[in-house]
Structure 1
Amino acid sequence: MRPLTLELKNFGPYDHTVVDFQEFANAPLFLVTGNTGSGKTTLFDAMVFALFNETTNNQERNAAALRADFAPVTEETWVKFTFEHAGVNYTINRRPKQTIQNKRGKLIDRGSKADLTFEKDGEVTELTQIKEVDNFITDLLQLNKDQFKQLVMLPQGQFRQVLASSSSEKESLLEQLFQTSLYRQWTASLKQQLSEQNQAMQAQEQQLQTLKQSESEVDDQLATPVWLTKVQELQTQAQRELEKIFREIKTGQEKVGFAQEQLTVAKNKTQAETELAQLRQTAETLVRQEPEIKAKQATISQLVWYQGIQADFLKWQEAQKNYEQAKVAQPQAKVRLDQIQAEVEQVSQIATQLARQTTTIDQHRQTKLALEQKIPDFEQRARLKQQVTSQTNMVTATQQRLTELNQVQKRKEKQQVECQNQLPDRDQLTKKEIQLNQSLSQLANWQADQKQLMATQVEIEKRAQVVKQAEIAVQKTNQNLQEAKANLAQQKDGFARNVIARLAQDLLPGEACPVCGSLDHPHVAAIKPTEKVVTEEAVQEAQNQVDQALKVVSQAQTNADHAQADLVATKQTMMDQLTKLATSLQVKSKLADVKQALKTRAETLTKQQATIKAEKQKYQALQTELTNIGDQLTSLREQIDQQTHQFQTLKEGLAGRQAQLTSLDQRLGSQTLEEVQTQIKDLTKKVTEFEQKQEANQHQQQVAKEALAVAKTELGQLQQQAKDANQQRQELQQKLIAALAEFNPDLDWEFLTGAQKQIGQLTDLQAAVNQYQQAIAANQAQQKQVQIRLEKVTTALPIESAQKALAEAQKQLNLLLANQGQQQEQVSRRQTLIKKVTQIVENQADQLARQTELNTLVKVVTGNSETKLSLERYVLKSYFSQVLQVANEYLIRLSQQRYEFKLDDQVGHGNGQKWAGLEINVHDNHVGRDRSARTLSGGESFIASLSLALGLSEVIQRQAGGVKIEALFIDEGFGSLDQTALQTALNALLEIQGSRMIGVISHVTELKEQIGDQLVVTSQNGRSEVSYRHGNEI
């Protein structure tokens, strides 16, 4: 990546400036010079902002805060950066969030924007979304913003950070640059897996113990294999008992079966005797029903005969009904005929009357036609009268409207002049608003610092709590250590007593005592029965507990010291933050004073904001009112012109219509349109009523004639119907009386009427007789079958005896079954228990092997091994070794073979996992020994820092996929060097420039004299410009 051009608009102190880096294409080392505060660093803030939407120090000065104070409210702030990468030119344009005045004079907030364009293989690509632009830049450069600032931009005060930082600080920086957090996350994942496996093993062991405790007949403290053997023996014994019970159950079931057969025989005999008695009782009931059945059979015979003549009887009933209906309807038909004849005569009389009115109606029609021909003239005259009246009113109204509009125009012109006099100065108002926004932005930064200060205060409280807990832990571990020491002393004393007692037992008479040397042994030491025997292993275990307690105490004390150091550092951080904020606010370094100052400042700015807001509202209101007045005046002038034209047109039209009206009045006379229309309406009504009456009379004549014919026909039909029905009923009646006499002379005409009513019951009567006969036959057959069953039963126990024998057999069987169930449940439960325990034992063996492997791996990656170096720190050390290897190529050359970097492998050993192994020494070839890099002089330190920065740059470029960075910008760092060190630094820069563009940002006079190619930043009245200077190369 090589910069080409940088264009700034209203950014920092730059109005509109273009920096052309191609001015230094043939002189890669150039100086960016200018007075302090002129805006040198702002150029590179703009470059970083264009690429990553941040500045070189985004916490202290973000892009939004770098909007120029002098920028007009109507113009935007933006940065355009063009650079070359892998043979392709890229142009990125980025705008920060800002407040801009639109065309209507209203201030609006515009969000940040970004767009990127480039041409590759003849195709132009344009990206316009911020997210896609950011992702594209990161993917293209293979660097994030932090890596870019570390490798390309070396900001003020950070140039020597890598060299001078502590080992832990280097670890934090390198972890971010080389993205090694993956190894820490993987280590945490392995530890979590190990913890989960430990928990699973504990859970399985607890489950195994619970299962063993569920078998009360075996001691659960036995080893699991022994416990399983004991339980298996119990299971074998229980299965034998179960087989014995099965045999006994089979015998009991056979006894129950025999007793059930005996009870069934007894029940069958009793049931047969009961059934025979019930059947004989049923037979007696059927005999008593015989007279009733015979009567039903006689009725059935008569109804069956009636079915044969039923059709003739129904025909007789129909003929009788028709005869009676015809006799009743004849008088009614005669009355209707007489009424219709009277109506025919009345309609004929009306027709004669209407014929006499025909001549008069014809005259009405002629008069009406003549009047209708004059209607258009009457209507035209009426319309002309209305138009004349309407136009007369319109002429008057238009003249009055013109007068009113002229008056309104004069008032609006006066009002316009008054508003223009009251309108505030817009430029002055905008200036106040810009100053307020700057003050608000500064207040927001101070408030953010206050928030950070309060967060640090909370962190101090947390760290104080950690210190307190660490001190408690130290006290507790010391107490545990004392208890362990006391236990060790007790174990040693007991062990010594036991040894002395054993040696005393082996003493021979006259042999010297190994303790006191006496040859006499009047009181030989002996172990008391109640005294516990202490073994050498117990003493060693107590010693191990003391050693472990000492390690724990040491670790607890270390943790407490670190916690106390963190607390002190955090308090110092808070004090630095408080001092910085108090200095900015020009108050004492007290938190209460800072809070009060911020509160007062916020209240003052709030009041100013309200005042400016009110002035803006007043300005906008007056501006709006002026616009409205102008629009109203334009509209009024248009209305006056329109009304004047309309007034002339109306006057001309009124004169023409008045002439037409005079002509029509002379031709039509005094009769009005309404009078003519009323006369036509009356004539029309008379003609219409006559025509309706005539049409109705004709219709009535037709209807009356048709009704008369229908009535005559109806009367004739009724007379013939009565005659035919009478003849049919007489013939059928004679036929039925003859058939009835032939069937049964004792029956009369009433029998036929009754039979017709009973014929629907014939099926039920027949079914009742058939059911009775079937019941007789079934009863006789059943009695015979029951008697046969009783003859087959020769011997049978009484039911009570059989039931008692069955109950006893069932009772014995139930006892056996209950015992079998209990025994079966115990065998099944024990079998399941054996299976579960066996499965857990097998699982524990497999899991223990996996756990052992994982535990070994965790120890290695966490640094709990001989090297005391975790995987992440090992990787960091490997990367840093590569960095030092590349940096040594520069350092050896720049120091004229005197110095080279080495990692200090001694520093930090003994501190366990806290050692990062990243301390730097330099080997001095002049004296042949190593010393700390911090002991280098100013110039030497600059060379070493530059070498280290270049080495770090190259290694990161390799890790980032081989991306090539062809630019390096160093911001200050030269002011603290003496003449010799400064010359050494310059020589170093000239040595390493090669094909890389190196820009040095400084105001040091010596650099101006020795670096001929310069980008000069000049400032005047708060605005800066750039120029180029070439020549005077070293």
Structure 2
Amino acid sequence: MRLHRLTVTAFGPFGGTQSVDFDELSTAGLFLLHGPTGAGKTSVLDAVCYALYGTVPGARQGGGQGATLRSDHAAPATRTEVALELTVAGRRLEVTRQPPWERPKKRGTGTTLDKAQTWLREYDATAAAWKDLSRSHQEIGEEVTQLLGMSREQFCQVVLLPQGDFARFLRADAEARGKLLGRLFDTRRFADVEKRLAERRRATEAQVRDGDAALLADAHRMQQAAGDAMELPDLDPGEPGLAEAVLGAAAVARSTAREQLTVADCALTAAESAQAGAGRTLDDVRELARLQRRFAEARERAARLEEGAEAYREAQARMERARKAEKVAPALDLRESADAEHRRAAAAEARARALLPESFADAGAAGLATAARRAAEELGGLDSARRAERRMVELLDERTGLDREERADADVLREAEDWLDGWEETRAGLQARVDSAQQAASLAEQLAVRREPARQRLAAARRRDQLTQDTDEAVIRARDAQERMLRAKQHWLDLKEQRLTGIAAELAAHLTDGEPCAVCGATEHPAPARKDAGHVDREAEEHALAAYQRADEQRTADERRLGDVRQALAAATAAAGDTPTEQLCDEAEELEDQYEQARRGAAELHAARERLRQAGHEQERRVAARQEAAVRTAARVGHRERLDRERAGLEEELDRARGTLDSVAARAAQLERRTALLTDAADTVRAAEDTAQRLKDADARLADAAFRAGFETPQAAADALLDDAVHRELQRRLDAWQTEEAAARAVLAEADTAAAARQRPADLESAERAASAADRRTRDAASAQDAAARRCAELDRLSARATASVHRLAPLREEYDRVARMAGLTAGTSADNERRMRLESYVLAARLEQVAAAATVRLRRMSSGRYTLVHSDDRTGRGRSGLGLHVVDAWTGRERDTATLSGGETFFASLALALGLADVVTDEAGGVRLDTLFIDEGFGSLDDQTLDEVLDVLDSLRERDRSVGIVSHVADLRRRIHAQLEVVKGRSGSVLRQRGIQGGL
């Protein structure tokens, strides 16, 4: 993988568009990425990672990616974008990504959210042009990951070498080293294997314990079924030998239960034989008692029947008269029906005659019918008059409607004339409002263009005023810091001079008789110098020197701050000019007021146009309404004359038809009522005459029927009749008496019943007591036999279930033993695992051994052959082994822990580890060639010779056209590495400055 060009827009600290030409930087093999803290060095690497994978490395990634990546210095209308051109797997690609963007709306105020976008293009060398491949986030992500052969985490480990992780790795203990290696090499699957085996061990152990618990529960049930005659083994679930002990105890219990069942079968057979004999005796006694009781009951029934024989004969005679009277019943019903009908007809006739005038009181049916026909003929002649009367009502309604329409049209004409008289004045006023709103809209557009520059200039003026005050304060602080520095320096020089003056006393303080002097070598010291009261020692001088250095650093910082403030003041002054802030504020406020007033006036434009349009429509409607009302008024004159002529003719016809009444309807109602009364009276008179004749005929037929049936009068026949309920009850009594008499005679005639009556009375109570005792003995024997049989069956069932459980648990026990051995082995707790090494630690140890071997090749060159990294499997204390890492010092020939390395040694050892890791991960990813690498900070801890050796090693990475980018603050590297990419930060965002191998910017 080789990077060619990176272009970022509004990304991180870069407010505008910045480009990096990696082809030019890679010409020298080594290039330096430098700049002040916070300028955006890491953002360049973030942009490379984001272009390839859509996310940034490590803690910089977040849920709101678009908001996190967008530059705070970018203009609102500028969208964040990262474009990377690279060659991978022989293909030249260009990846462009735009995160989600909350941009200003094109119309109106507020913002709207644009979705993230991604483009992937490939350069076609044949056509010498770029061709689009995809715009799908998912497809592009899969394509890039497949071509690189690495995930985002591996890419950040291999291409963006994480120096800090390896420095911590060298000093960490085995536990922390394992966590870091597990993150660099994704060994979670091996940890998952350990976890899975431990879970399977616990699960199978629980299943074995549950199976043994169920087996013991069955053993307890067998003990209860055997009547506590079974002894249970004193073993807990999971202990060996439990199954064999339970099955042995179950076999003994089954044998004892079967012996008890045989004894119970014999006792039941004897009891059943005795019960059968007692049952036969009881049946014979019961039959004798039944026959004797049957004979006595039959004799009692015969005596009762003889006592009621007279009542039976009277009931028979009454039933015979009733059967004769039934022949007269039809004639009786006919006569009653004719009498009731005649009474109803007579009552109806009387009611109808009461409604007629007195002149018809004695009229017959024929006279009444004739009068009704005459009234109906007169009623039929009133149909024409009724139609005329209805037409008269319609004419009145039409005339009323014409008057109402005439008044309505008059109101319409008056209202239309009044409104149209003021139309020209109304139109002119509305047009004036439209013109005023249009002028306000034009003015608002002009003022809107001037608002933002005025605001920006006012903001710059306020910054200028604040920075002017800050500059004055910074000048004072810088001047004070200069004075403090000079005073501290003078104090240090004074103390230094005083110490040099009294240095003889300081040396004499260490002289001892007989010991040579450090200056002259004499062993005798006759007159050593003495310290005076104001003597200055070395510690006081060093304190003064430290105070001077701190004052000098503070002075430098204050002067740098003064320069930054002056630079910002110049930029603000250039933007604001020399106009006072108060004047700019007044101008901006006046401009804002004018804009708001114009905008409010412009807002009335649409409403004014709408009111003018509606007024025009209203004028057209009023003119049309006035014309239509005039036409309708002219048409109503002829219509009113026609209605008046028709009304006069109808009034003459109605006067003739009404007679003395008020209306034709009243006259018609009078005739209809008279016709109905006469017709009804004629009908009732004829009905009364017919019913009287039918009643006379019914009386004659009834007298004849009673005589033939043998009754003297029809009333006697009626009294002999019985209703249905009395007839059924009398017949039931006669039938019951006959049935009872026949049954009693039959029982008394039975031979066995008569023979039983002649024997001695049966002793049923004694026979029942004997049978009950035999039954009780049989039930007890059956219960004992049933309990023994159930005991045997329950023991057989539980024994079979226990045997099945033992067979079913056998494979599970084998699996548990196998899983427990594997789990203990992978967890490092098994005795077979001599080094107590977990599976994940074993895999990480193999990786660590590969990384150590690859790192040693470069570490020897960096340390001039002094240091070698070796992997160790030795256990540390009571912990586990597998992740030990030692360094062999060729100068001493001793092997020691990497935590004992110094700061500089730790740096190039961690750098060697990082490069070794890059080689190992690259091989693991399928041998993808990495032509561009980046190395983070840490070079400041090296001396010049070690720095040269490290740079030589890094320079060797250029083999096969590989380039390495160093991210560092070390000033000496700017002299040693000519190809540089500098990140310069400013108030409007950072910018990139690129220097090629020739040294040109």
Q: Does 1:183 align with 2:184?
A: no
Asked if the contact 1:922/1:933 (under 8 Å) is kept, the reply is no
> Relative to structure 1, is the Cα distance of residues 656 and 833 closer, same or farther in structure 2, using a 3 angstrom cutoff?
closer
- Taking a change above 3 Å as real, the CA distance of residues 876 and 283 of structure 1, as seen in their structure-2 partners, is same
- For residues 592 and 69 of structure 2, what CA distance do their matches in structure 1 show? 34
SS state at 2:3 partner: strand
| C-alpha separation in 2, matches of 1:208 and 1:382 | 109
* 8 A contact 2:5–2:19 mirrored in 1: yes
Classify the secondary structure of the residue corresponding to 1:914.
coil
Query: Match for 1:1024 among 981, 984, 990?
Result: 990
**CA offsets, 1:671-700, max 9 Å, x none?**
xx99x9999999979978985994896677
Cα displacement (A) at 1:247:
1.0
Please tell me whether the aligned partners of residues 416 and 626 of structure 2 are also in contact (alpha carbons under 8 angstroms).
Answer: no
The reply to whether residue 883 of structure 1 matches residue 851 of structure 2 is: yes
Distance 1:620 1:298 in 2: 137
- 5 Å-filtered alignment, 1:528-543, equals none
Alignment of 1:126-525 (within 5 A): 126-127=135-136, 141-155=148-162, 157=164, 167-199=174-206, 211=219, 216-217=228-229, 220=232, 232-233=251-252, 235-334=254-353, 338=357, 383-388=412-417, 426-427=455-456
Matches within 5 A, 1:520-919: 629-634=597-602, 691=654, 694=657, 721=687, 725-744=691-710, 746-754=711-719, 758=723, 762=727, 765-785=730-750, 788=753, 790-791=755-756, 798-821=763-786, 823-824=788-789, 826-827=791-792, 831=796, 834=799, 847-864=812-829, 865-887=833-855, 901-905=869-873, 908-909=874-875, 911-919=877-885
Paired residue secondary structure (2:135) = strand
Q: Within 1, Cα distance between the matches of 2:691 and 2:712? A: 26
Cα deviation, residue 909, structure 1? 2.9
Given that 2:7 and 2:84 are in contact with CA atoms closer than 8 Å, whether structure 1 keeps it comes out as yes
- Name the residue aligned to 1:93: 97
Is 2:121 aligned against 1:115?
Answer: no
| 8 Å Cα contact 1:902/1:923 also seen in 2 | no
- 1:967 to 2:966 alignment: no
Q: 1:845-869 CA deviation, whole Å, 9 max, x = no partner?
A: 6555444333332332122322332
| Residue 968 of structure 1, CA deviation | 1.0
C-alpha distance in 2 between matches for 1:718 and 1:421: 112
* CA shift in 2, pair 1:822/1:395, >3 Å: same
Q: How far did residue 385 of structure 1 move? A: 4.1
| CA–CA separation in structure 1 for the residues paired with 2:819 and 2:404 | 118
2:99·2:116 contact (CA, 8 Å) conserved in 1?
A: yes
- Return the TM-score normalized by structure 2: 0.65
CA RMSD of superposed structures (Å): 6.3
Q: 1:65 to 1:857 in 2, by over 3 A?
A: closer
Q: Answer whether contact 2:163 2:914 (CA < 8 A) is retained.
A: no
Query: CA, structure 1 residues 767+850, in 2 after alignment: closer, same or farther (shift >3 Å)?
Result: same
Choose from 58, 70, 74 the match for 2:73: 70
Equivalent residues of 1:5, 1:82 under 8 A apart:
yes
For residues 558-600 of structure 1, the C-alpha deviation after alignment (integer angstroms, 9 at most, x for no partner) is xxxxxxxxxxxxxxxxxxxxxxxxxxxx9xxxxxxxxxxxxxx
* CA 1:692–1:314: 2 relative to 1, 3 Å: farther
Greater shift after overlay, 304-313 or 10-19? 304-313
**What is the distance in 1 between the residues matched to 2:594 and 2:298?**
124
CA contact (8 A) 1:347 1:701 kept: no
State whether residues 26 and 964 of structure 2, in contact with CA within 8 Å, keep that contact through their aligned partners in structure 1.
no
**Residues 1:79 and 2:82 are matched in the alignment:** yes
Amino acid at match of 2:43: T
What TM-score comes out, normalization by structure 1 length? 0.64
Deviation at 1:801, TM superposition (A): 1.8
The one-character-per-residue Cα deviations of 1:639-690 (angstroms, maximum 9, x if unpaired) are 88999999999999999999999x99xx99xxxx99x999999997997898
Look up the match of 1:544: none
For 1:646 and 1:220, locate their aligned partners in 2 and report how far apart those are by CA, in whole Å.
Answer: 107
Q: CA deviation at 1:151?
A: 0.5
2:978 aligned with 1:1015, yes or no? Answer: no
For structure 2, the residue ranges without an aligned partner over 5 or more in a row are 125-130, 235-240, 361-367, 464-553, 555-586
Query: Alpha carbons of 1:110 and 1:732: their partners in 2 closer, same or farther (altered >3 Å)?
Result: closer
Q: What is the Cα deviation at residue 948 of structure 1? A: 3.7
How far 1:399 moved relative to its partner? 10
AA aligned to 2:136 is L
| Residue pair 1:326, 1:721 contacting (<8 A) in 2 also | yes
**Alpha-carbon distance, 1:1001 to partner:** 3.0
Shift of 1:799: 1.6
For the Cα contact (< 8 Å) 2:430–2:611, is it kept in 1? yes
Work out which of the residue numbers 953, 959, 962 in structure 2 matches 1:996.
Answer: 962
Go from structure 1 to structure 2 and tell me whether the alpha carbon gap of 1:679 and 1:289 turns closer, same or farther (over 3 Å shift). farther
Q: Distance in 2 between matches of 1:384 and 1:798?
A: 129
* Equivalent-residue separation in structure 1 for 2:752 and 2:939 (angstroms): 139
Q: Give a deviation string over 1:858-906, Cα, whole Å, max 9, x none.
A: 332122322332221111122233334555666688889987653234x
Offset, 1:316 = 3.7
Does structure 1 conserve the Cα–Cα contact (< 8 Å) formed by 2:201 and 2:820?
Answer: yes
In the aligned structure 1, how far is the partner of 2:616 from the partner of 2:207? 107
Structure 2 CA distance for aligned equivalents of residues 1028 and 421 of structure 1: 39
Whether the 8 Å CA contact 1:253–1:813 is kept in 2: the answer is: yes
CA-CA distance at 1:227 after TM superposition: 7.8
Show the counterpart of 2:584.
Answer: none
Note closer, same or farther for the CA distance 1:424–1:954 as it changes in structure 2 (3 Å cut).
closer
Asked whether the 8 Å contact 2:372–2:678 carries over to 1, the reply is no
Amino acid paired to 2:29: L
Does the 8 Å CA contact 2:933/2:965 hold for their aligned counterparts? yes
Q: Distance in 1 between matches of 2:978 and 2:436?
A: 79
Measured against aligned partners, the alpha-carbon deviations of 1:260-305 in whole angstroms (never above 9, x if no partner) come to 2222322232233223333333333334444444344334434434
C-alpha displacement of 1:101: 6.3
Which residue of the partner structure matches residue 582 of structure 2?
A: none
Conserved? CA contact 2:295–2:753, under 8 Å:
no
In the alignment, which residue of structure 2 is the partner of 1:58?
59
Amino acid at match of 1:866: E
| Unaligned stretches of 5+ residues in structure 1 | 435-585, 587-618
Q: In structure 1, give the amino acid aligned to 2:834.
A: E
Q: Structure 1 residue 252: deviation in Å? A: 1.0
Aligned AA (1:143) = M
Between the aligned residues of both structures, percent identity stands at 20
Change (3 A) 1:17 1:296: same
Q: Determine the structure 1 residue equivalent to 2:469.
A: none
User: Is the 2:103–2:113 contact (alpha carbons within 8 Å) kept by the matching residues of 1?
Assistant: yes
- CA distance in 2 between counterparts of 1:639 and 1:230 reads 105
**Alpha-carbon deviation of 1:318?**
3.6
Report how many aligned residue pairs link the two structures: 830
In structure 2, distance between residues paired with 1:365 and 1:910: 124
Deviations 1:590-628 (A, max 9, x none): xxxxxxxxxxxxxxxxxxxxxxxxxxxxx9999999777
TM-fit CA distance, 1:797: 5.9
Question: 1:970 and 1:187 mapped to 2: Cα distance?
Answer: 36
SS at match of 2:712: coil
Query: Using the alignment, how far apart are the partners of 1:657 and 1:259 within structure 2?
Result: 124
